[in-house]
Structure 1
Amino acid sequence: MTAPRTPLSADRLTALTDRLHEDGIIGLPGAFTRDWVRRLGEDVDTAFTEARSRPDGAVGRGPNRYYVEIHPEQLGGFAELASHPWITAVAEAVLGPDYRIVEVGFDVPLADAVDQPWHRDFPMPEETSRHRRLTSLAVNVTAVDTEPDMGPFEIAPGTHWDDGAAFEHGMFPPKDAYPRYRELAVRKFPRMGDISIRSALTVHRGTANHSAKSRPVLVLGLDAPDADNSARHDTAVTRGFLASLPESVRAHLVCPVVDTLLPITQKHTIEGLVMGASDS
């Protein structure tokens, strides 16, 4: 069960969206109960084990660091996640009432994962560069309490507006820009139940995991109607699962409806992260 599901006040929503526009990330502590997150973590563990058992089931994001895309019904709590009023309110305010759910996946930094290079997750779309309008958001849900030695997520607030013309592949800034990112950088230490909502254009990286533990993080990707990130993903649902969802969730799931789900072959590769070279 989620906790609490009280809608955001108008003033709170305005403050959050203003901060998201300014910083490129917001945190919302206590969105879910720890029991709900434990069940989420079990589903992630099951999906991760299955994905690593077959070719191209998990894609490398650097040494000992993986990303896995999954189908929504692989998460027992998908409906609760997708309908949480804090998430839906921010999504509607930033992306519009017809936003779409285009990605369900998770990142898993294992023990001995190294610092990633600074990056954004995809090139800046023209609508953002020309009109300063965000056309996508990523909701992150940690499956564990994040401790300093577990390779916490590090982000440079405000860099979602950086001109990416000099970025390799539109995603990787030149290394002479690294000192600025280090100066801006904030490390995040969410606990079970906390969520963040961010622009994936905000320059960020995973840091080295010096612990013996993994740090799985669920990702829910959301697009405005005119965005095209769905082309990078293979989300699908079965007819029975779609029928079981509340209409408020079905309305935002624009994806193939199938009789039988096929395992996803990962294609969300981010060039450069596989090598894991960061030079800090």
Structure 2
Amino acid sequence: MAGRGETAVAPLTDDELIAAKEQIYADGIVGFKGAFSRDWVRRLGEDVDIAFDEARARPGGAVGRGPQRYYVEIHPEQLRGFADLAGHPWITAVAEAVLGPEYEIVEVGFDVPGPGAEYQPWHRDFPMPVETRSERRLTSLAINVTTVDTTDEMGPFEIAPGTQWDDSDEFEHGMFPPKEHYDRYRDLAVRKYPQMGDISIRSALTIHRGTENRSQSSRPVLVLGLDAPGAGNAERHDLAVTTGYWDRLPQGIRDHLHCPIVDELTPINQKHTIEGLVMGEAEG
């Protein structure tokens, strides 16, 4: 659907969609330039700032992901542009190609690395599912939308392409590779510098980390989490929508939003804590 301020984009061609899926399977991430207008992203940034202030003002509203680094999960209707995001033709096409036509929206949240945020340990966001290990099949995707123009001083996201398939009993909690593996990840690492309007679609299994924010600015990034049917990540999240909001959503989005419909929203107490990241590591 076309929302207020959304960049009008042509659907992906068959060749572009095949290439995007192949890149996700090869590298663990694919990027798209100019998915949204800068005006749309400015409104997104305003909504994220409001939600961040609210979350930090109450116990359990924000979870630490290392020094000066936070994660907040929110409800869809806290974003004026949620329907634009969830219904964006590039996102829906890639989601269907990778996860199948019955994919589910399981997470809406954002990361905020503030000034002084340090290097995170290399990690993936949850243990490898059995389907990925045994069938080399990806069962979830994360869509990232920056609310600012990323610079090197802001501590950009760093990812090691191809490592979504790394499987080792040495991974602590199934997510944290031992430091003996760090040289390989540093050799593979690519830093990402998205600008307002750009998006990325990635497997959260791909080994990654946030880097040191040496600037005086925060670098908020919205996260939309998608699952294939039965992947189970919804258990880590608490999405809900009110009846009135549900009635206003396009049917194409409601088909993928399997969450409680309530009379009144309850603020989310964060439970998607990634073991170890609350400590952080100043490792360059």
TM bucket (normalised to shorter chain) is: over 0.9
Alignment of 1:174-253 (within 5 A): 174-253=178-257
Deviation at 1:278, TM superposition (A): 5.1
What are structure 2's unaligned runs of at least 5 residues? none
Tell me which of 61, 74, 80 is aligned to 1:76. Answer: 80
Tell whether 2:131 aligns with 1:127.
Answer: yes
* 8 A Cα contact 1:157 1:202, kept in partner: yes
Task: Measure the CA separation in 1 of the matches of 2:52 and 2:283.
Answer: 29
Aligned residues: 280
Task: Measure the CA separation in 1 of the matches of 2:127 and 2:170.
Answer: 11
* 8 A Cα contact 1:69 1:103, kept in partner: yes
Task: Measure the CA separation in 2 of the matches of 1:68 and 1:274.
Answer: 14
Task: Measure the CA separation in 2 of the matches of 1:53 and 1:12.
Answer: 44
Tell me which of 259, 280, 283 is aligned to 1:279. Answer: 283
Aligned to 1:101, what secondary structure does the other structure show? strand
Aligned to 1:149, what secondary structure does the other structure show? helix
Tell whether 2:23 aligns with 1:19.
Answer: yes
Task: Measure the CA separation in 1 of the matches of 2:58 and 2:226.
Answer: 28
* 8 A Cα contact 1:140 1:218, kept in partner: yes
* 8 A Cα contact 1:4 1:30, kept in partner: no
Tell whether 2:64 aligns with 1:37.
Answer: no
Aligned-pair RMSD on alpha carbons?
Answer: 0.7
Q: Partner of 1:162 in structure 2?
A: 166
Q: Partner of 1:144 in structure 2?
A: 148
Deviation at 1:279, TM superposition (A): 3.2
Q: TM-score, normalised by structure 1?
A: 0.99
Task: Measure the CA separation in 2 of the matches of 1:18 and 1:253.
Answer: 26
Tell me which of 264, 269, 272 is aligned to 1:260. Answer: 264
Deviation at 1:3, TM superposition (A): 1.3
Tell me which of 162, 171, 176 is aligned to 1:172. Answer: 176
Once the two structures are superposed, what CA deviation does each residue of 1:155-176 show, in whole Å capped at 9, x if it has no partner?
0000000014210000000000
Query: Are residues 87 and 81 of structure 1, via their aligned partners in 2, closer, same or farther at CA, if it must alter by over 3 Å?
Result: same
Deviation at 1:218, TM superposition (A): 0.1
Q: Partner of 1:114 in structure 2?
A: 118
Task: Measure the CA separation in 2 of the matches of 1:30 and 1:160.
Answer: 26
Q: Which amino acid aligns with 2:242?
A: T
Q: TM-score, normalised by structure 2?
A: 0.98
State the identity %: 70
What are structure 1's unaligned runs of at least 5 residues? none
Task: Measure the CA separation in 2 of the matches of 1:19 and 1:155.
Answer: 14
* 8 A Cα contact 1:123 1:164, kept in partner: no
Deviation at 1:259, TM superposition (A): 0.4
